[in-house]
Amino acid sequence: MDKLIITGGTRLSGELRISGAKNAALPILAATLLSTTPVSVGNIPHLHDITTTMELLGRMGVSLLVDEKMNIEVDSSTINSYEAPYELVRTMRASILVLGPLLARFGEAHVSLPGGCAIGTRPVDIHLNGLIKMGADITVEGGFIHAKVDRLKGCRLVLEQITVTGTENLLMAATLASGTTIIENAAKEPEVTDLAHFLNAMGAKITGIGTDVLVIEGVENLGVPDLHYDILPDRIETGTYLCAAAITGGKVKLKNTRPDILDAVLEKLVEAGAEITTGDDWIALDMHGKKPKAVSLRTAPYPAFPTDMQAQFIAMNCVADGVGIITETIFENRFMHVQELQRMGANIKLESNTAICTGMEKITGAPVMATDLRASASLVIAALVAEGSTLVDRIYHIDRGYDHIEEKLSQLGATIRRVPQ
């Protein structure tokens, strides 16, 4: 297992190019299963979760071609299995995203149940109930979801809770259903919107994109010859590097990104004392050498503050001026980074789903362990200002969602290196 060794104390500065969004790439690659013609997908990030998705599609017999620019051409005409096996689903919950497309196009899907995960129980009942309402016959046996249908039927779905992958699964399923499906209380995350645009580019008829009511008029089949689609930039990777720069009092410019989908995060960075300037596809942050001020926030579905940025802001609050109160409302167990940050000297009190962080003059490097993707990012951010060196273990979590993190941070001047086991 690789580790990262980070020596704190350098003020980050420079420019960086943001990669494509993991959480858009995963559903879009799953959605290629719906197409009768080969599809090319671009701006794909170099990540373990992408490799896992490719392995998942490959195991089903789907043909995949990757070029040197990480464009992936997917041809699902060679598919010979409709199964997502346990060993892949267990390493990546997002594998559940093949359920909707497989069922809609081939009338059959066998997907291992994801089970619990580090950040909470994360059930998939809303995905399954929606498909059942659309006429699917679903049984759960031997740890697998078995789904069958002749053709899904459009209907009105009011989601009990806002769910990102749940909305995506039902949206993909509805594109090939007979009649019209209306998804109410749909997730509006930019990644859901990107998926909807991709589906329309393949010939789907979706309206209400970007709102919480999606209307999908089912079509007979999807597929447009020579279709190429570029994934939107990763807003969470963007936010993570902005926090990394802010905690060090630094000055950075992030290119190939989208400020318009980061409002809640940018607002909190300004509150922390950052000067933010933006263009259509770039964001610059300047702390003018100052340490951040503590910020308080509450996570909630888009367009509010994203749960995927909570851990990074806790890291920033560890050394900020003042006290920051951070409340997590999406996942019940997403504070695993707190214990590790405390090992570095952070003053954080946990009260139910709230973390109260009192900024310290300094924190110190320590051996720490990555527990999930965003928790790992927060440890790396804290390490950038810690006195001495921090060794971050189990960084396979980071490699799931951050494209070449040590190279990108080195590019901004950080002292960071990967040591193989």
Restricting to residues 48-77, which ones interact with ligand EPU according to CB under 6 A? none
> Does the annotation mark 117 as catalytic?
yes
Give the separation between CA 44 and CA 50, rounded to whole angstroms. Answer: 8
Q: Which of 30, 111, 164, 370 binds ligand EPU (CB under 6 A)?
A: 164
Q: How far is the CB of 347 from ligand EPU (least distance, A)?
A: 26
Count of chain residues binding ligand EPU (CB under 6 A):
23
Q: Which of 117, 155, 318, 357 is catalytic?
A: 117
Query: Which of the stretches 162-170, 196-204, 207-215, 346-354 binds ligand EPU when contact is defined by CB under 6 A?
Result: 162-170
Which positions ≥6 away from 141 have C-beta within 8 Å? none
Query: Which of the stretches 5-13, 139-147, 163-171, 345-353 binds ligand EPU when contact is defined by CB under 6 A?
Result: 163-171
Q: Which of 126, 244, 375, 395 binds ligand EPU (CB under 6 A)?
A: 126
Q: Which of 105, 110, 127, 188 binds ligand EPU (CB under 6 A)?
A: 127
Query: Per CB under 6 A, does 184 bind ligand EPU?
Result: no
Query: Per CB under 6 A, does 125 bind ligand EPU?
Result: yes
Query: Which of the stretches 156-164, 205-213, 246-254, 309-317 binds ligand EPU when contact is defined by CB under 6 A?
Result: 156-164
What b/e string do you get for 74-83 counting C-beta neighbours within 10 Å, with b at 16 or more? bbbeebeebb
Query: Per CB under 6 A, does 165 bind ligand EPU?
Result: yes
Query: Per CB under 6 A, does 279 bind ligand EPU?
Result: no
Query: Per CB under 6 A, does 234 bind ligand EPU?
Result: no
Query: Per CB under 6 A, does 161 bind ligand EPU?
Result: yes
Whether the link from the prior residue into 303 is cis, omega within 30° of 0, is: yes
Query: Per CB under 6 A, does 193 bind ligand EPU?
Result: no
Q: How far is the CB of 100 from ligand EPU (least distance, A)?
A: 12
Query: Which of the stretches 69-77, 160-168, 208-216, 390-398 binds ligand EPU when contact is defined by CB under 6 A?
Result: 160-168
| Cα distances (Å, whole numbers) of residue 358 to 93, 105, 323, 374 | 34, 53, 4, 21
Q: Which of 251, 374, 397, 408 binds ligand EPU (CB under 6 A)?
A: 374
Query: Per CB under 6 A, does 373 bind ligand EPU?
Result: yes
Query: Per CB under 6 A, does 98 bind ligand EPU?
Result: no
44 burial level (CB within 10 Å; 0-12, 13-18, 19+): buried
Query: Per CB under 6 A, does 120 bind ligand EPU?
Result: yes
Q: How far is the CB of 143 from ligand EPU (least distance, A)?
A: 17
Query: Per CB under 6 A, does 159 bind ligand EPU?
Result: no
Query: Per CB under 6 A, does 317 bind ligand EPU?
Result: no
Query: Per CB under 6 A, does 310 bind ligand EPU?
Result: no
Q: Which of 8, 16, 21, 23 binds ligand EPU (CB under 6 A)?
A: 23
Restricting to residues 319-338, which ones interact with ligand EPU according to CB under 6 A? 330-331
Q: How far is the CB of 388 from ligand EPU (least distance, A)?
A: 28
Helix axes of 235-247 and 263-271: crossing angle, nearest 10 degrees? 10
Q: Which is nearer to ligand EPU, 105 or 397 (CB)?
A: 397
What are the backbone dihedrals phi and psi of residue 365, each rounded to the nearest 5 degrees, phi first? -60, 150
Restricting to residues 379-418, which ones interact with ligand EPU according to CB under 6 A? 401
Give the separation between CA 83 and CA 64, rounded to whole angstroms. Answer: 17
What are the backbone dihedrals phi and psi of residue 75, each rounded to the nearest 5 degrees, phi first? -125, 110
Q: Which is nearer to ligand EPU, 181 or 248 (CB)?
A: 181
Q: Which is nearer to ligand EPU, 60 or 373 (CB)?
A: 373
- Residues marked as catalytic: 117
Chain residues binding ligand EPU by CB under 6 A are 23, 26, 94, 120, 122-127, 161, 163-166, 191, 307-308, 330-331, 373-374, 401
